[in-house]
Amino acid sequence: MERKPVKVSIIGAGAVGSAVAFSIATQRLAAEIAIIDVNNEKAEGEAMDISHGLVTMGSMDIHAGTYEDVKDSDLTIVTAGVGRKPGETRLDLAARNVVIARSIVKELVKQQPAGPVMVVSNPVDVITYVMHKEGGLPHVFGTGTVLDSARFRYLLSEKTGADIRNIHGFTAGEHGESQFAVWSSVHVSGMRLDSFCAKRGIVLDKEEILRDTVTSGAQVIKRKGVTNYAIAAVVAELTNTVLKNRGSIFSVTSVLDDYYGIGDVAISVPSFVGASGVSGYLPYDFTGEELDQLRHSAKQIREFMNTLSL
């Protein structure tokens, strides 16, 4: 049977959406990329700009699209949303982006996406919950703490001097202030982090590393106004995982149902990611303290969503 060309739709042609489209194109992950935005001219411009570089990437159909494109897309990526304005609270931002998410959900429900929906828009845990619960879309997940985990590994690499490719570990919970580092997961080339540091004479300030992980995005925004390249790289990696049905484990966010007693909330836990989005969860061997932190993070998100009447 002839295999149909891979198609990805990206909703949102802003700094993140355009960077995602570029990253997917340069890695040649799809034969067709549809960029959908309320500002169709902006979407057209982004598609044209990337297409002008196809001589280095190979043949692809990159174009401005409509919501009808999601019908036959193997993956739909939602990046649309607004950034926080000066003096605006996190709650204000969430309320504004929930309105945008609901408008997108209505369109997606009309079209019934062929493949899973990956949410990138912030606050990603809240938007993922809204799209899954209110839209009834079955295969919705968000990037969650995958980017935070990448930042975490980068900072550990900087502090230990070890190649980032040899450092493994992740953060979990909210993509935000209540997330936590799963220190029990961290190892360097198979060696537990504490043992590695002891043998190398390295003293780590774990609280500082976690604090820098959580505030990394804010530090980038302070300097350039937006974070878009690292998240685009992360989204491309997740896209590759979905399209190739790898079943890789990532700390993505999705609506949980009795994960260590946690339910009716979207937070990041180790999840199997493939062609259907999240196909299952890894019951990770958290320490007692880590489980407490996970439940605390879930409680914080639930209380925040209650203020939004979700």
**What confidence tens digit (pLDDT) does each residue in 41-65 have?**
999 999 999 999 999 999 999 999 9
- The predicted pLDDT at position 93 comes to 83
Report how far residue 303's alpha carbon sits from residue 71's, in angstroms, rounded to the nearest whole number.
Answer: 35
Is residue 42 within 8 Å of 13, Cβ to Cβ? yes
Residues of the chain with CATH 3.40.50.720: 7-142
* Helices 40-51, 15-26: crossing angle, 10 deg rounding: 30
Quick one: pLDDT band at residue 3, thresholds 50, 70, 90? low
Residue 243 Cα distances to 30, 137, 138, angstroms: 9, 19, 17
Mean pLDDT estimate for the chain:
95
Provide the CATH topology of domain 7-142: Rossmann fold (3.40.50)
Which residue is listed with tokens 């580092």?
A: 181
Question: Quick one: which of 212, 192, 194 has its CA closest to 204?
Answer: 194
Active-site position among 63, 168, 175, 296: 175
Report how far residue 177's alpha carbon sits from residue 254's, in angstroms, rounded to the nearest whole number.
Answer: 18
Based on the residue annotation, tell me whether 175 is a catalytic residue of this protein.
Answer: yes
Higher pLDDT, 93 or 12: 12
Residues of the chain with CATH 3.90.110.10: 146-307
Over residues 62-115, the pLDDT tens digits come to 999 999 999 999 999 999 998 766 666 677 889 999 999 999 999 999 999 999
Q: What is the mean pLDDT of residues 12-17?
A: 97
Question: Quick one: which of 283, 255, 304, 47 has its CA closest to 141?
Answer: 255
Provide the CATH topology of domain 146-307: L-2-Hydroxyisocaproate Dehydrogenase; Chain A, domain 2 (3.90.110)
- The predicted pLDDT at position 127 comes to 96
Pairing between strand 167-168 and 187-188?
A: antiparallel
Burial (CB < 10 A; 0-12, 13-18, 19+), residue 56, is exposed
Indicate the pTM of the whole model. 0.96
